[in-house]
Amino acid sequence: MSEVVIVNCTVTDARPGGGGRIADAAVWVRGDRIAAAGPRPEVLGQAGGARVVDLGGAYVTPGLVNMHTHLSLSLPGRGGDDVKNMTPHELALYMADGARRTLHCGVTTVRCVAEKDHADFALRRAIEAGRASGPRIFTAGRALVCTGGHGHEGTDTLECDGPDGFRRGVRSQVKAGADLVKVMISGGIAGEHERIDTPQLFADEMAAVLATAHAWGRKVTAHAGPAAVIAEAVELGLDCVEHGYQLTPEVVRRMAERGTALVPTLLVTRCKEFFDELGVPEWMQCRSLGAGPRHLESYALAVEAGVEVLLGSDMPPFWAFEGTSASVRELEYMSEGGLGPERALYAGTLGPIRWLGAEADLGTVEAGKYADLVAMDADPLAATSAFRGIRWVMKGGRVVRDDRAGWEGQ
């Protein structure tokens, strides 16, 4: 069992009350978990002869968590067509490369919310077995959608109709190994023959999804844009909203009261460069970018109401965008939109982990947790842009990135 002790750093995590802020800290990593974290003299006294890793005054936080990930994303247009036309073997390799790049940009956990052909399960097994490099994967498998509904064209969705059909859909994803369930309950920006505010499930279908998933111990997240559709789903017990393009004060109040989280994906309505790069058609660009102002207003309402907001980019987590990765840029937008650096740190680390029910193993820099850590030179509690400077990444006690000259990996 390998052992290292990380020194010359400030530990910063999002535990309430400031308990996760330790100056002149050390983190003792034994195997894949943290054995101790605290003041340097105290930890060094426990660590004995463990190899010392000097981080040169860096700030150390838990790895980022991206809650809206599509490693097999294929939007309308040239770039998306290239992905759709891949063979199963090509798709698996493409997704594995995306997983590796995701981990290297500092995202150590992802929540996949619709992937093609159940390749996400094979990728997760490969990562867990050490045959591939990538983040920890929590996945919904294929998203559930009504016949002809949002995203029905791809193999990352499963068409269902009626309460019985949606119950079977939930069970089929649980059978495949899904950790959660994703359902499309309204139109969106990528469906040519729908509007963002097009309702796509009846109340009895939504109720069937929620009751079945909850009976199997799975949370449900919903692609959803308009307030009326979201309001109905929240009252039925929805656990999380993706996007929330058109929220209202009444809806965010109920979301806060009922504990329904929001993954706002602010990037998707302000990413013309990304769309141009992929050859996304004009009709989708107009719909997406046109929804931007209202989307940002909706997000601000949610923050003000106290809704639990969580990091999720929709754009591939590792994608280079506006000078950084999509994950970091999304977190910056969230911070700038009213969250501020302290709550942004929570939204990008501990908050998502709590939603996933994984806080016993992840989310903070504490003894007993997996050693999933990132390091940067600036203070993330002073400015969320500090994450642009991630220069060192550890997952499960193994260093997977170190920008210092001469580093060759472990």
> Token digits for 211?
């009751």
In this predicted model, what pLDDT tens digit does every residue of 269-324 receive, in sequence order? Answer: 999 999 999 999 999 899 889 999 999 999 999 999 999 999 999 999 999 999 99
Query: Could you tell me how many residues make up the chain?
Result: 410
Burial readout 43-64 (b: 16 or more C-beta within 10 A, e: otherwise)? bbeebeebeebebeebbbbbbb
Q: What is the pairing mode between strands 392-395 and 398-402?
A: antiparallel
Of 342, 303, 345, 343, nearest to 328 by C-alpha is: 345
Give the Cβ contact number of residue 207 at 10 Å.
17
> Edge-to-edge strands of the sheet including 107-112?
64-69, 107-112, 136-139
Whether pLDDT at 54 is above 90 = yes
* 3-state SS assignment for residue 261: strand
Closest CA to 200 of 149, 242, 160, 251: 149
Confidence band of 410 (pLDDT split at 50, 70, 90):
very low
Query: Which residues neighbour 133 within 8 Å (Cβ) at sequence distance 6 or greater?
Result: 99, 100, 103, 127, 400
Phi, psi dihedrals of residue 160, rounded to the nearest 5°? -140, 155
- Per-residue pLDDT of 145-201, as tens digits, reads 999 988 788 899 999 999 999 999 999 999 999 999 999 999 887 777 778 888 889
Average pLDDT of every residue of the chain: 95
The pTM assigned to this predicted structure is: 0.96
Task: Tell me the per-residue pLDDT of 4-29, one tens digit each, with 9 for 90 and over.
Answer: 999 999 999 999 877 789 999 999 99
User: What structural domains does the chain harbor?
Assistant: 3-63+363-402 (2.30.40.10), 64-356 (3.20.20.140)
Nearest C-alpha neighbor of 141 from the set 96, 192, 177: 177
Reduced to 3 states, what is the DSSP secondary structure of residue 234? helix
Kindly list the distances between the CA atom of residue 174 and the CA atoms of 126, 127, 170, 182, 239, in Å, as whole numbers in the listed order: 19, 20, 6, 11, 17
